[in-house]
């Protein structure tokens, strides 16, 4: 195998493929990146047995072939090579030379015959959505994905498609996120994508509202096509919880407040909370203000936030991190907080729209 390629575009592609390479693989064949030189392109593949990335770059291919290279080492070599063009060639079966002018690396690769093929997903029944919109959906919902595998279903996010609307749902035992955006897909289907896979996909999505991501799914895998990258992930099998039953049909108390003011108040209160010094953030909703307070062995804080309140007020307590994460993810100027009692979930949504909805479970307050 021998090819010459422009360094910067090649380095970007290698670094993105590196996202799918496991840090500590159980299968040693997966610790590398697979390179295939064919005709006028070099195709690269990274795979961790759950999530994989394929992409290709244009190259002057003198000799076709394939090789597996240590992903981290190869990425660092390419990144630190001089600007311009670099040549990658294989002598014998595994000796690889990477050269640019007077800078020459010789490293040992491995045969590609043991590298597993990525799962195949047929490109049919296509769903398309703006890259920016899809990235925002992932970022707005990822905080609610479960981080433990007590219930493996909850380590993923539900993608529901129907009537040209895509809904992403993430939930664990204490919080729920539901985010909706317009898409192009008139049918109905749903599947559960691992949260880690969605997080890696989000890193490749762009801010361009006109750029699209194409999504395909089968019974066991889903394929995301983004600007020349094909990302395939295994799906989580099983039935997602009926999250709609958790959404309150009505509420006794509604608060409208500036999102930034509430977020900054929670952020300040969090200075007094740690793994050693734990305490809830107390919220008194009354007299057109939110009195937010917190007391730990480190000190105490009390702060008033102007608000528009409808209904009889009361005091409730919340985990500071859950509040912080939800308010940080809420992309709006004013938030709407809806509650029924101090011991019922708080619903957080935008006062200006309805494209996201969060539920945060309360903390029982001591007298």
Distance CA 257, CA 335 (A): 6
For the segment 129-135, the average pLDDT, to the nearest whole number, is 97
Asked if pLDDT for residue 28 goes beyond 80, the answer is no
pLDDT exceeds cutoff 90 at 180: yes
Residues above pLDDT 70, as percent of the chain: 100
Residue 248: exposure state from Cβ atoms within 10 A (0-12, 13-18, ≥19)? middle
- Mean pLDDT for the stretch of residues 213-232: 96
Mean pLDDT of all residues in the chain? Answer: 94
Overall average pLDDT of the 100-123 stretch: 93
Q: What is the rounded distance in angstroms from the CA atom of residue 143 to the CA atom of residue 228?
A: 28
Residue 122 — pLDDT band, cuts 50, 70, 90? very high
Please, which pLDDT band fits residue 88 given cuts at 50, 70 and 90?
A: very high
Asked if residue 257 lies in contact with residue 289, where contact means CB atoms within 8 angstroms, the answer is no
Q: Does residue 271 have a pLDDT over 80?
A: yes
Neighbour-count burial of 26, counting CB atoms closer than 10 A to its CB (0-12 exposed, 13-18 middle, 19+ buried): exposed
Q: Does position 27 have pLDDT exceeding 90, yes or no?
A: no
pLDDT at 25: 72
pLDDT at position 249: 86
In the predicted model, is pLDDT for residue 208 greater than 90? no
For the chain, domains (ranges, CATH) are: 2-114 (3.10.150.10), 127-244 (3.10.150.10), 247-363 (3.10.150.10)
Handedness of CA 133, 139, 141, 147 (dihedral sign): positive
| CA-angle at 130, arms to 128 and 135, nearest 5° | 110
Of these ranges, 2-6, 115-119, 207-211, 247-251, the one predicted with the greatest mean pLDDT is 2-6
- Please check the confidence at residue 24 and state whether its pLDDT lies above 80: no
Given a cut of 80, is residue 84 above it in pLDDT? Answer: yes
User: What pLDDT score was predicted for residue 209?
Assistant: 84
* Length of the chain in terms of residues written: 367
User: Would you place residue 42 in the very low, low, confident or very high pLDDT band (cuts 50, 70, 90)?
Assistant: very high
Mean pLDDT of 34-51: 95
User: CA of 163: how far to CAs of 130, 183, 314, in Å?
Assistant: 16, 9, 40
Q: Mean of the pLDDT values across residues 139-152? A: 90
Spatial distance between the Cα atoms of 308 and 310, rounded to a whole number of angstroms: 7
Please compute the mean of the pLDDT values over residues 98-124 and round it to a whole number: 93
Between CA 326 and CA 44 the distance in angstroms is: 37
């Amino acid at each position: 195998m021998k090819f010459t390629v422009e360094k910067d575009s090649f380095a970007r592609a290698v670094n993105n493929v590196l996202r799918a390479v496991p840090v500590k693989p159980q299968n040693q064949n997966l610790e590398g990146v697979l390179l295939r030189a064919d005709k006028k392109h070099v195709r690269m593949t990274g795979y961790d047995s759950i999530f994989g990335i394929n992409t290709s770059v244009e190259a002057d291919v003198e000799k076709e072939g394939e090789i597996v290279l240590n992903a981290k080492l190869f990425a660092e070599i390419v990144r630190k090579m001089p600007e311009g063009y670099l040549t990658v060639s294989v002598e014998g079966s595994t000796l690889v030379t990477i050269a640019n002018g007077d800078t020459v690396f010789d490293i040992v690769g491995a045969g590609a015959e043991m590298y597993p093929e990525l799962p195949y997903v047929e490109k049919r029944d296509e769903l398309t959505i703006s890259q920016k919109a899809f990235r925002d959906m992932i970022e707005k919902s990822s905080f609610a994905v479960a981080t433990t595998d007590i219930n493996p279903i909850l380590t993923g996010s539900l993608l529901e498609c129907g009537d040209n609307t895509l809904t992403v749902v993430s939930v664990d035992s204490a919080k729920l996120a539901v985010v909706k955006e317009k898409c192009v897909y008139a049918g109905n289907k749903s599947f559960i994508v691992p949260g880690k896979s969605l997080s890696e996909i989000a890193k490749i999505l762009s801010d361009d509202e006109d750029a699209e991501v194409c999504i395909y799914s089968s019974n066991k895998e889903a394929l995301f096509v983004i600007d020349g990258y094909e990302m395939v992930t295994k799906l989580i099998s099983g039935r997602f919880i009926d999250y709609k039953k958790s959404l309150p049909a009505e509420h006794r108390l509604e608060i409208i407040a500036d999102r930034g003011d509430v977020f900054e108040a929670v952020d300040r209160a969090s200075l007094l909370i740690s793994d050693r010094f734990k305490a809830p953030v107390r919220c008194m909703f009354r007299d057109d203000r939110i009195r937010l307070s917190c007391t730990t062995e480190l000190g105490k804080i009390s702060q008033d936030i102007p608000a528009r309140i409808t209904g009889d007020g009361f005091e409730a307590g919340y985990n500071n991190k859950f509040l912080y994460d939800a308010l940080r993810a809420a992309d709006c100027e004013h938030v709407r907080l809806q509650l029924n009692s101090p011991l019922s979930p708080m619903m957080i949504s935008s006062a200006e729209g309805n494209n996201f909805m969060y539920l945060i479970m309360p903390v029982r307050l001591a007298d």
